[in-house]
């Protein structure tokens, strides 16, 4: 009896294994619910990723892994009474990180490597979560700086190099972007390496953005030669701006394909926003802000391998009666990656 059972198992297991497949058609044949899931997936795939293959093509792989090195900094520029200028900047923060991406969703983590190269062990941090499809892209990000900055310019005086430690900034944001010409233009081909741009093409871009921001600057410890330029209505020589921004903006992106496997991309957006919060005042109020976002990239694809470099910058203008603050975050990335499938 035991031998008969063993023979039956050997006969049945290969057939069962051969009958199962990870192909969508095979999964759909398993029942009504699996068929519904497959149909929903196919609809979503066409809706979010349907493209004109003469212009945009899939890489052929669902997964990729990227090794990334990045360098970024905070920059703040105050305009007092529309005449006097104070520019401050944090030292560039260099990091190395790893991204893992599945189809439209990518997640990564950076490790600060300044200390490894003899620099300061800084507590600036940046978190970034992105997804990208043909029709939409989205981003969730957070940037914190508790290390202070260096005042490099005051009016016409350059190279001041005065340490400014009594400051603390934190920005958290979420944005969703829509590409009008999603069939022939791929933002992901230039900036997230999820598609292949076959021919040069551009598109209008529309975005909705939410941002929570806290900025505190305490100038009381600075030399009197610098404090004399501060506005008289600043209470105790301090500046604070905190609240919530909601904005809707538009811009344009273009991918140039000068030769096979090479894509050069540029994009720029302007995002008018309404802020509700505190602006150097104990009372909450609404105010107007204007944010800009831009980027440029160069990508080389070769079979499964790709290498890309990009420059991106976010800048926000905070307006008040006597002061305009421009807060900017430029960042440079270099990524080397490999595409693969798990099944």
Provide the residue ranges of all domains of the chain, joining segments of one domain with +: 1-49, 54-340
Tell me the pLDDT band of 133, cut-offs 50, 70 and 90.
confident
Closest CA to 211 of 257, 249, 167, 162: 249
Secondary structure E strands in the chain: 56-58, 63-72, 75-80, 84-89, 93-102, 105-112, 125-132, 136-145, 149-154, 157-164, 167-179, 195-197, 201-218, 238-259, 262-279, 284-302, 305-319, 323-340
Could you tell me the pTM of the whole model? Answer: 0.82
Token digits of residue 84: 């006097």
Q: Which CATH class is domain 54-340?
A: mainly beta
pLDDT at 318 over 80: yes
Question: Between 86 and 235, where is the model more confident?
Answer: 86
Contact by Cβ (8 Å): 106, 132: yes
Cα–Cα distance measured from residue 116 to residue 297, given in angstroms and rounded to the nearest whole number? 28
The pLDDT, as a whole number, for residue 115 is 62
Q: Tens digit of pLDDT for each residue in 2-41?
A: 444 444 444 444 444 444 455 656 666 677 776 667 667 6
Percent of the chain's residues with pLDDT above 70? 82
Tell me the pLDDT band of 143, cut-offs 50, 70 and 90.
confident
Cα–Cα distance measured from residue 207 to residue 209, given in angstroms and rounded to the nearest whole number? 6
pLDDT at 252 over 80: yes
Tell me the pLDDT band of 132, cut-offs 50, 70 and 90.
confident
Helix (H) or strand (E) holding 6: helix 2-19
């Amino acid at each position: 009896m035991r031998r008969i059972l063993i023979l039956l198992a050997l006969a049945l297991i290969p057939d069962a294994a051969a009958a199962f497949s990870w192909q969508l058609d095979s999964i759909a044949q398993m029942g009504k619910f699996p068929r519904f899931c497959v149909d929903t997936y196919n609809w979503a795939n066409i809706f979010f990723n349907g493209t004109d293959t003469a212009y945009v093509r899939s890489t052929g792989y669902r997964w990729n892994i990227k090794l990334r090195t990045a360098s970024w900094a905070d920059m703040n520029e105050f305009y007092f009474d529309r005449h006097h200028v104070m520019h401050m900047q944090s030292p560039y923060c260099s990091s190395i990180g790893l991204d893992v991406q599945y189809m439209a969703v990518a997640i990564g983590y950076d490790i600060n490597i300044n200390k490894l190269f003899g620099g300061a062990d800084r507590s600036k941090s940046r978190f970034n979560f992105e997804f990208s499809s043909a029709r939409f892209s989205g981003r969730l990000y957070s940037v914190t700086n508790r290390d202070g900055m260096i005042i490099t310019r005051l009016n016409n005086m350059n190279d001041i190099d005065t340490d400014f430690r009594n400051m603390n900034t934190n920005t958290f944001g979420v944005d969703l972007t829509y590409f009008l010409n999603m069939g022939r233009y791929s933002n992901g081909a230039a900036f997230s390496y999820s598609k292949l741009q076959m021919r040069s093409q551009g598109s209008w871009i529309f975005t909705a953005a939410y941002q929570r921001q806290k900025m505190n600057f305490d100038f009381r410890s600075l030399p009197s030669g610098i404090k004399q330029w501060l506005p008289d209505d600043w209470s105790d020589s301090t500046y604070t701006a905190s609240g919530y921004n909601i904005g809707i903006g538009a811009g344009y992106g273009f991918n140039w394909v000068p030769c096979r496997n090479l894509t050069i991309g540029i994009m720029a957006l302007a995002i008018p926003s309404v802020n509700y919060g505190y602006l150097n005042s104990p009372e909450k109020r609404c105010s107007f802000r204007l944010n800009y976002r831009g980027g440029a990239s160069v990508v080389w694809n070769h079979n499964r391998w790709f290498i890309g470099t990009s420059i991106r910058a976010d800048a926000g203008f905070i307006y008040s009666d006597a002061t305009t603050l421009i807060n900017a975050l430029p960042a440079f990335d270099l990524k080397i990656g490999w595409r693969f499938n798990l099944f």
